[in-house]
Amino acid sequence: MNNFQYFAPTKVVFGKGTENEAGSLVREQGGTKVLVHFGSGSAVKSGLVDRVCRSLEEAGIAYVTLGGVKPNPRLSLAREGIELCRKEGVDFLLAIGGGSVIDSAKCIGYGLANDGDVWDFYSKKRQAKACIPVGAILTIAAAGSEMSDSSVITNEEGWIKRGYSSDYCRCKFAVMNPELTYTLPDYQTASGCVDILMHTLERYFSPTEDSMLVDGIAEAMMKTVIHYAKVLAENPTDYNARAQIMWAGSLSHNGLTGCGLVRDFASHQLEHELSAMFDVAHGAGLAAVWGSWARYVYMEKPQRFAQYAANVLGLQVDYSHPERTALEAIKETESFFQSIHMPTSIHEMGIDLTEEQIQELARKCSDNDGRTIGGFKVLNREDMVQIYRMAK
């Protein structure tokens, strides 16, 4: 087991009606003036924004609002938020939504707490020294941003999507009422489930050996997600299924399943370029590229895929030919994606990549040959080209 740090400071308030505690939770954190930040309509339409504002009023906390966060959140709106918060003297950011809204709030938090251009952090020019406190009221189980150390922002200048990670931005609290996710379109529910599965898979496919404890946690998490994703495809208002998926979403990306491991995250990096260029849903993009990534790398350690096949998918392992089991496991995972109506190629998202676009995706993903991606197998720009071609 490698050395590691595990820091999960977010207070989780889970269950029915918990959004009504927003006011007292902000007060507990010492917030006096709040930015209520939300997306493009769903949280207004459902009445959630009104309920949360009422809770703030009841707690005697002043607030301003800023809606309009788009999926794959944009830098320009975050900049607008920074200006607004400076003008209004905001000292607490309350995100009502999913990964996009929470990440936009985190970006605003960095911009408020540090001098200079906030994009510098995402373009890795310098490190943030602080972040204004953020709280989340989660409306979609997916990105795990409610407990993660990261935020992912798209800069419209050049359509570059980049993540920035630091413990400063971890949410002070996360309100998780599974009922708030009932209104999700099926496609978003399924896309969220893929993202959750992938946050664990991208840690599980690690070059680190002898990781029995975290493997066991990861395997239970993946079995849970696969099982309940299928339940939700049939019955979107199954409370227990929504609850299991929601909690798995937070645990999959708060670092728990990566303790002591070298992480992979290559599929995430490949996908971020796709969602930056074509604005696809992040989880759907992951489903579209994962099988190709897996077929490209499985010979590095076919036994790891065989372990996944046996312990997560319940397949028989061919011990004399683990590579055969590995290929079966990849196929079975893709069948799962298909069963919840997720794509297993980029074409299935309505995009027919040209060779020029493939080269452009790989150029961006490799930062013009400035970085490699992946831990299970380290991938350079040419590897990225090959995987995009396979996933086409």
Distance between CA 314 and CA 312 in Å, rounded? 6
Residue 161: CB atoms within 10 Å = 24
| Tokens linked to 223 | 């079995």
Q: Which is nearer to ligand NZQ, 145 or 206 (CB)?
A: 145
Q: How far is the CB of 76 from ligand NZQ (least distance, A)?
A: 15
Residue type, 333: T
Q: How far is the CB of 83 from Zn ion (least distance, A)?
A: 29
Looking at residue 127, the DSSP 8-state letter turns out to be -
Contact 308, 329 (CB under 8 A): yes
Q: Which is nearer to ligand NZQ, 111 or 302 (CB)?
A: 111
Q: Which of 23, 97, 322, 375 binds ligand NZQ (CB under 6 A)?
A: 97
Q: Does 375 bind ligand NZQ (CB under 6 A)?
A: no
Kindly give, in sequence order, each residue whose CB lies less than 8 Å from that of residue 232, ignoring residues fewer than 6 positions away. 189, 190, 193, 238, 241, 242, 245
Q: Which stretch binds ligand NZQ (CB under 6 A): 41-49, 222-230, 298-306, 369-377?
A: 41-49
- Full DSSP string of 42-105: HHHHTTHHHHHHHHHHHTT-EEEEE--PPSS-BHHHHHHHHHHHHHHT--EEEEEESHHHHHHH
Pairing relation of β-strands 92-97 and 33-38? parallel
211 contact, one of Zn ion, ligand NZQ, none, CB 5-8 Å limit per kind: none
Looking at residue 143, the DSSP 8-state letter turns out to be S
Q: Which stretch binds ligand NZQ (CB under 6 A): 112-120, 140-148, 228-236, 313-321?
A: 140-148
144 contact, one of ligand NZQ, Zn ion, none, CB 5-8 Å limit per kind: ligand NZQ
Q: Does 202 bind ligand NZQ (CB under 6 A)?
A: no
Q: Which of 184, 229, 342, 387 binds ligand NZQ (CB under 6 A)?
A: 184
Residues numbered 195-254 forming contacts with Zn ion, rule: CB under 5 A? 195
Q: Which stretch binds Zn ion (CB under 5 A): 174-182, 191-199, 319-327, 371-379?
A: 191-199
Q: Does 160 bind ligand NZQ (CB under 6 A)?
A: no
81 contact, one of ligand NZQ, Zn ion, none, CB 5-8 Å limit per kind: none
Distance between CA 171 and CA 86 in Å, rounded? 20
Q: How far is CA 231 from the centre of its chain?
A: 21
Q: How far is the CB of 277 from ligand NZQ (least distance, A)?
A: 13
SS3 assignment for 244-272 = HHHHHHHHHCCCHHHCCCCCCCHHHHHHH
Q: Does 149 bind Zn ion (CB under 5 A)?
A: no
What are the helix (H) ranges across the chain?
A: 22-28, 42-45, 48-58, 75-88, 99-113, 119-122, 186-204, 212-234, 239-252, 266-278, 282-297, 302-311, 322-339, 355-365, 381-391
Q: Does 374 bind ligand NZQ (CB under 6 A)?
A: no
Q: Does 192 bind ligand NZQ (CB under 6 A)?
A: yes
| Angle at which helices 322-339 and 282-297 cross, to 10° | 170
Q: How far is the CB of 68 from ligand NZQ (least distance, A)?
A: 8
Q: Does 267 bind ligand NZQ (CB under 6 A)?
A: no
Residue 321: CB atoms within 10 Å = 12
Pairing relation of β-strands 160-165 and 11-14? unpaired
Q: Does 146 bind Zn ion (CB under 5 A)?
A: no
71 contact, one of Zn ion, ligand NZQ, none, CB 5-8 Å limit per kind: ligand NZQ
Kindly give, in sequence order, each residue whose CB lies less than 8 Å from that of residue 73, ignoring residues fewer than 6 positions away. 100, 101, 103, 104, 107, 152, 153, 154
Size of the site for Zn ion (CB under 5 A): 1
Q: Which of 81, 98, 111, 375 binds ligand NZQ (CB under 6 A)?
A: 98
Size of the site for ligand NZQ (CB under 6 A): 34
Q: Which of 31, 99, 109, 322 binds ligand NZQ (CB under 6 A)?
A: 99
Binding site for Zn ion (CB under 5 A): 195
Binding site for ligand NZQ (CB under 6 A): 39-43, 71-72, 97-101, 103, 139-140, 142-145, 148, 150-152, 180-181, 183-184, 188, 192, 195, 253, 268, 275, 282
